[in-house]
Amino acid sequence: MGDARDDPNLFLVDPDMRGILPLDDFHIPKRLRRRVKQEPYRVSADTAFTRVMEMCAESSDGRETTWINSTILNLYSALHREGYAHSIECWDETGALVGGLYGVALGGAFFGESMFSRATDASKIALVHLVARLIEGGFTLLDAQFHNPHLEQFGLIEIPRADFKRRLKAALEVKADFYCGRSGPSGSFTGSGAVHRITQMS
């Protein structure tokens, strides 16, 4: 990651305690569950990867700086072109991109990198759709990297570095599919379908 948006340097982060979202115990709060089923936004995957990254890098309420610099943007865009980095997007009725997230898939592990929201619950809905997709695609590990109070409502847990590396080693041996058997990014879950897929697992 980078220290700031205008800093071209990168450094590796390997915390003593790692935040993960257990895919077999992911929790959707009741209010959000109803909201997801109402489908307030159109949800897509991998249709606006670079734009999602750019919006994650923009300043917003409570966050004036970002670790996403131009070097990271270029590197992750290259990973996206190679099929390793992916995004989930939420669009409102006017066609505006109002929420989303991105991360990297390796084997059965997905490394969540950043998310943004410009409308009520948009990033949360993107996360629910991501988890449904990961479960359907056979993933076994969703790395959130750090403890984040915002993610506690979804069942975030912290595990020691050694435990994380054991789980990661096993996950990297898994043959998972972000597109869930489809030939490309077309097709997404309905809101009800996403909730159902997750509750089947948990």
pLDDT tens digits, one per residue of 2-52: 444 455 555 577 889 999 999 999 999 999 999 999 999 999 999 999 999
CA distance 131 to 100: 13
Nearest to 142 by CA among 127, 124, 161: 127
pLDDT of residue 141: 99
Query: Percent of the chain at pLDDT above 70?
Result: 87
Report yes or no: 22 and 157 within 8 Å, Cβ to Cβ. yes
Which CATH number applies to 17-201? 3.40.630.70
CA distance 128 to 26: 9
Q: Encoding tokens for residue 44? A: 């897509």
Report yes or no: 35 and 125 within 8 Å, Cβ to Cβ. yes
Q: Is the pLDDT of residue 154 over 80?
A: yes
Sequence-distant (6+) residues with CB within 8 A of 1 are 10, 11, 13, 67, 72
Nearest to 88 by CA among 112, 61, 120: 112
pLDDT of residue 11: 52
Beta bridge partners of 86: 103
Among 70-74, 120-124, 148-152, 179-183, where is mean pLDDT lowest?
179-183
CA distance 97 to 118: 8
pLDDT of residue 61: 57
Q: Encoding tokens for residue 37? A: 């089923």
CA distance 25 to 46: 26
Summarize pLDDT for 78-129 with one digit per residue, the tens: 999 999 999 999 999 999 999 999 999 999 999 999 999 999 999 999 999 9
pLDDT of residue 13: 74
pLDDT of residue 184: 59
- Helix (H) or strand (E) segment spanning residue 177: none
**What does the domain layout of the chain look like in residue ranges?**
17-201
Summarize pLDDT for 159-195 with one digit per residue, the tens: 999 999 999 999 999 999 999 877 556 567 899 999 9
144: three-class secondary structure by DSSP: strand
